[in-house]
Amino acid sequence: MRKSVLLVLTFIMLASIALAGCSSGSKDTKSSEGTKDPGTTTDTQVTEEKKEDPVTLLWYTIGGPQKDQDKVLAEVNKYLQEKINVKLDMKVIDWGDYSQKMQVIAASGEPFDIAFTSSWAFNYVEGARKGYFLELDELLNQSGQGIKEVLNPAFLEGSKVNGHNYAIPTNKELPAQAVWRFNKNLVDKYKLDITQATTLESLAPMLKAVKEGEPDVYPIPSNIGMFLPFDFALEGIPVGVAMNTTDFKMVNIWESAEAKQVFKTMREYYQAGYLPPDVATKQGNDFEKTGKWLVDKQHTVPFADIQWTDSMKYPIVSTPMHEPLVFNWSVTGSMQAISSKTKYPKQAMEFLNLLNTDKYLRNLINNGIEGVHYKRLTADTYEPIPDSGYSMPSFTLGNMFLLDKLKADPADKWEQYKKFNDSAKNAPLLGFQFDPTNVMTEIANVKNAVDEFGPSFNTGSVDPEKMLPKAIEKLKAQGIDKIIAEAQKQLDAWRASK
């Protein structure tokens, strides 16, 4: 009897082991045959991915040193590892040193992955032409679809070099719009109607009223760099096409009727005592602190009057000189480029895509850590903690429309920015990038002549009837006509290609 029971139990155990083995083998077979849905990650794959070391991207950007940068970066890297298995090594170079240091880094071939570039710091077009930056067209389509969805198309169109994109523009204000900016204290005191400020000449009665009432005030406090209705082919060189051009003819702007009229009017204002005697060489903006000024020229963004008022601690109002216009320099004012030497182009683009589409990441990099560097007020508003150790320049870092608002910001701040962008018209040279290679010597010589005469003409410090013919003669002697011919040839070829 006992032997029979033992025999039965032994048989059951053997059967159980056999069944278990069959079950295990069946499970492995199903897994190896791909019974899961296509694209589903297996447990083994997840484990293997977690074992991979994250890619570290070296990112150079512009700004001031941040005491708590490493603390914030630690939080950023936790998030990035979870999202795209990437870490950042962010190097912030001071404003005044950035261009020179990045030129040295890029020219020497020193490795980096991402860098801030723009029309005014570490020049974007120059860097693209020298081969510092990676062409991004294919990468944008593969790993940057989010960027293409959030950016106004004019950003990418206007920042092309030889038909290709080499950096990602920051999603911010798209156009440029020059305005007359007024000290409202004096506007109210003298009951001035600033809606009448439509041209430079229209300022005359306002300037006169303030000067007569405030003899120690210079109503125009500085070299305001008057707006001229031309799209310049190259910054600092008076070569371009008229804003309302139909023939796209490149001209010497100083020979235009518009420039001559501006120089003439500024001379009249200077002689009337509306500008400081040393205005052509005067540096700085001390007038903003003293409040002893009436009007200057600035470029605006939505709610700029509020920002200027908050900065100066007295009321500022403004009126537009022209409609919002999209220039090459306005779309390239803040960008992130991927190095042509990077080993991780896909990961770099994935990071930039996340920076422009992920609200949490964008605010973390911009504002720091909640409770340490800022106080949360509502779901989308915050208040910085003074002297907290972290305060980055927001316009340099990525999609600004993802940013939380400050307490004083209007509730519809970003909606108004989008409305401002949508209202803009394209300047005639948008997308055309002049290649100066063939006229580098002439450009340098002409720039010297412009620096010699320009400040005096812009401030009325000299008589343009006497000096402008001499200046134009010098521009010609230095090669401006050769620059115009080269610019015209390139523009004609570009238009034909379009």
Helices (H), 123-183: 124-129, 137-143, 145-150, 153-158
Mean pLDDT score across all residues of the chain: 90
133, 166 Cβ separation under 8 angstroms: yes
- CB-CB neighbours of 280 under 10 Å: 18
pTM above the 0.85 mark? no
Q: Is residue 182 scored above 80 in pLDDT?
A: yes
* 33 has pLDDT over 80: no
Phi-psi region of 259 (alpha: psi -120 to 50; beta: other; left: phi over 0): alpha
Is the pLDDT at 86 greater than 50, yes or no? yes
Work out the average pLDDT over 40-63: 71
Take residue 285 and report the two structure tokens written for it: 């903006």
Tell me which residue of 270, 308, 289 sits closest to 181, measured CA to CA. 308
Strand, coil or helix: what is 296?
strand
55-62/86-93 β-pairing? parallel
How many Å apart are CA 370 and CA 373, to the nearest integer?
A: 6
Task: Spell out the SS3 assignment of 121-137.
Answer: CCEHHHHHHCCCECCCH
The predicted pLDDT at position 46 comes to 45
Instruction: Report how far apart, in Å, the C-alpha atoms of 204 and of each of 199, 220, 268 are.
Output: 10, 11, 10
pLDDT tier at 51 (50, 70, 90 boundaries)?
low
Question: Which tokens hold the place of 464?
Answer: 């343009």
What is the band of 26 on the pLDDT scale with cuts at 50, 70, 90?
Answer: very low
**Partners of 118 in the beta sheet?**
123
Residue range 399-424, pLDDT digits in tens: 999 999 998 899 999 999 999 999 99
Q: 175 near 240, Cβ under 8 Å?
A: no
Domains, the chain, ordered by start: 50-173+330-425 (3.40.190.10), 178-222+276-322 (no CATH), 231-256+435-498 (no CATH)
d(CA 306, CA 92): 29
The residue-averaged pLDDT of 372-398 equals 94
pLDDT at 160: 94
Paired strand residues for 489: none
Higher local confidence (pLDDT), 14 or 457: 457
Q: Are strands 168-169 and 335-338 parallel, antiparallel or unpaired?
A: antiparallel
